[in-house]
């Protein structure tokens, strides 16, 4: 009896509330640690160098913070660890590939295995159905339907709309030219490109440059001002929920624009499809006429998603490229004078061709824009997702692995570019151009999933620059920040704007 009693007392001690609490905490802690580190085991499987030991759940996020952006981290780590290495953004490893030959395999040769982007999806939002975020066969269908919309012939139809907005900008420049006043060209170009995309995409005369409808522009700007590291939060456990909460606080949800575009489409349907040749009309026509792989047309929800994406991405990347180009021209007056001379020569020797064809015939203009995009690419990185286990030159990549393409690091690689921090448009013509590896310069990506709006963006940028440089020049002033402080948000932008003076040509 006494022995049984001792056994009972011993059992009671094991189930004492304090012991149960301690044991529970230990079990929970071990489980959480496992959840936060289980992906780290895949680092060794990749058989490539990887950056300092990741922290549970956070991975290497603290490293990103030290460098003030993924673009600078990747640039430094390519030098330290080589052109292929692993990094953990959260609890899951990513393979960073800065080798152009390997990128050729990923983006072209073996594209079917890397077709989808590894990208954040807005929870339950129709915005996910745009061509950038969509996945698998859905992406392929949407891309095939949209591709004819961005043909050279269709783009030419939009030149008059672009010219109209550029003429408004010219009127504004005339008022401040030769005044000695510095103007923030990033702000002015943002207004221009937002107005252009509203006009060419939706047929809306928003008069953004004249101070009307500024709320739309402010909400669009808020989306891109959020640091990229905040956007990476969705990689963390419960990150999607947390990102949604932060998005609501920072105004990072595209819901506002989805509602606006939906109303525009309803109004357009009531008025009929006749009228202006804009992107919306072309997409609605594609909806009515196109059948791709047995699935006909774009749904109204898909049209809204494409429209909002083009609105947001199109305005931001083009305005940044224009403002960076203005900065480089102001700080490199010899380049600006050479470009202006080439524009004038083209105008004098091609008096009977369209503005579209004229702008695309000026080789040095193309060189200047490319060098600006090399120095400050519209997107600092791109992603792909490995859909099936894959061996890449001895590297075993498990299915589901993110491939991170560090575009900024590719554009600043000293092995590929002589004096990479020097602005030199001559890189992009003659023998220097021939020496550039096709996958070392990726401002619009590459392969079947490259930027569908590339032709549109370049047309807008070239038309604006040609019109401005025929009458004015950008001049560095005491207010010009040299070098520019870069903000690594949704795309690279000048944190404090691009302040220069504008002078009339004599």
- 153 compared with 191, residue with greater pLDDT: 191
Cα-to-chain-centroid distance, residue 407: 11
Yes or no: say if 355 and 159 are a contact pair by the CB < 8 Å rule.
Answer: yes
Q: What is the model's pLDDT at position 378?
A: 87
Tokens 């819901």 correspond to 255
pLDDT-derived band at 184, boundaries 50, 70, 90: very high
Residue 219 has pLDDT above 60, yes or no: yes
Helix (H, G, I), strand (E, B) or coil at 166: helix
DSSP H or E stretch at residue 222: helix 214-225
According to DSSP, the β-strands at 84-88 and 93-97 are antiparallel
Mean pLDDT lowest for which of 228-237, 393-402, 443-452, 473-482? Answer: 228-237
For 220-274, write each residue's pLDDT tens digit: 777 666 655 555 666 666 566 666 665 555 555 567 787 888 888 887 777 765 5
Q: What is the model's pLDDT at position 5?
A: 47
For residues 402-424, average pLDDT? 96
Query: Phi first, then psi: what are they for 340, rounded to 5°?
Result: -60, -40
Residue 335 has pLDDT above 70, yes or no: yes
Residue 432 has pLDDT above 80, yes or no: yes
Largest CA distance in the chain: 114
What would the two tokens of residue 31 be? 């489980």
* Residue among 404, 458, 377, 425 nearest 150 (CA): 458
Q: What is the model's pLDDT at position 425?
A: 98
Q: What is the model's pLDDT at position 294?
A: 52
Residue 248 CB partners (closer than 8 Å, separation 6+): none
Give the bridge partners for 295, in sequence order.
292
What would the two tokens of residue 9 be? 């007392």
For 488, other C-beta atoms within 10 Å of its C-beta total: 21
Average pLDDT, the chain: 84
For 283-304, write each residue's pLDDT tens digit: 877 654 545 455 557 888 888 8
For 344-376, write each residue's pLDDT tens digit: 999 998 888 888 889 999 999 999 999 999 999
* Residue among 38, 37, 53 nearest 87 (CA): 53
């Amino acid at each position: 009896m006494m022995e049984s009693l001792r056994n009972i007392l011993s059992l009671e001690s094991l189930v004492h509330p304090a012991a149960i609490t301690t044991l529970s905490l230990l079990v929970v802690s071990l489980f959480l640690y496992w959840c936060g580190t289980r992906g780290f085991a895949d680092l060794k499987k990749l058989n490539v160098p990887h950056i300092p030991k990741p922290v549970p759940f956070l991975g290497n996020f603290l490293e990103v913070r030290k460098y003030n952006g993924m673009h600078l981290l990747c640039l430094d780590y390519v030098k330290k660890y080589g052109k292929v290495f692993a990094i953990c953004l959260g609890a899951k490893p990513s393979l960073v590939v800065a080798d152009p030959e390997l990128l050729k395999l990923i983006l072209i040769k073996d594209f079917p295995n890397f077709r989808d982007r590894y990208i954040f999806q807005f929870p339950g939002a129709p915005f996910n159905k745009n061509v950038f975020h969509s996945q698998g066969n859905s992406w392929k269908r949407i891309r095939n339907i949209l591709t004819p919309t961005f043909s050279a012939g269709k783009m030419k139809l939009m030149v008059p709309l672009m010219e109209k907005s550029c003429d408004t900008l010219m009127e504004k420049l005339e008022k401040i030219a030769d005044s000695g006043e510095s103007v923030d060209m990033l702000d002015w170009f943002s207004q221009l490109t937002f107005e252009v995309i509203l006009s060419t995409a939706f047929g809306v005369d928003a008069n953004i440059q004249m101070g009307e409808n500024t709320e739309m522009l402010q909400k669009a700007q808020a989306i891109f001002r959020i640091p990229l590291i905040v956007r990476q939060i969705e990689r963390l456990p419960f990150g999607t929920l947390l990102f949604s909460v932060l998005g609501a606080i920072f105004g990072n949800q595209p819901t506002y624009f989805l509602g606006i575009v939906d109303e525009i489409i309803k109004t357009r349907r009531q008025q009929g499809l006749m009228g202006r040749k804009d992107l919306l009309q072309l997409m609605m026509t594609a909806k009515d006429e196109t059948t791709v792989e047995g699935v006909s047309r774009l749904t109204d929800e898909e049209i809204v998603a494409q429209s909002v994406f083009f609105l947001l991405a199109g305005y931001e990347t083009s305005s940044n490229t224009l403002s960076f180009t203005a900065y480089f021209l102001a700080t490199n007056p010899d380049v600006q004078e050479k470009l202006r001379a080439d524009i004038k020569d083209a105008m004098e020797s091609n008096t009977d061709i369209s503005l579209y064809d004229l702008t695309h015939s000026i080789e040095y203009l193309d060189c200047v824009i490319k060098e600006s995009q090399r120095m400050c690419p519209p997107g600092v990185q791109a992603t792909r997702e490995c859909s099936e286990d894959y061996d890449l030159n001895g590297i075993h990549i498990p299915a589901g692995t993110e491939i991170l393409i560090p575009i900024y690091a590719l554009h600043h690689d000293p092995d590929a570019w002589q004096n990479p921090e020097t602005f030199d448009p001559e890189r992009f013509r003659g023998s220097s151009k021939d020496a550039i590896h096709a996958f070392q310069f990726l401002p619009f990506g590459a392969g079947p999933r490259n930027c569908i709006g590339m032709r549109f963006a370049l047309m807008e940028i070239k038309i604006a620059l040609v019109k401005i440089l025929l009458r004015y020049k950008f001049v560095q002033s005491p207010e010009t920040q040299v070098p520019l402080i870069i903000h690594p948000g949704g795309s690279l932008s000048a944190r404090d704007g691009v302040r220069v003076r504008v002078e009339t040509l004599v």
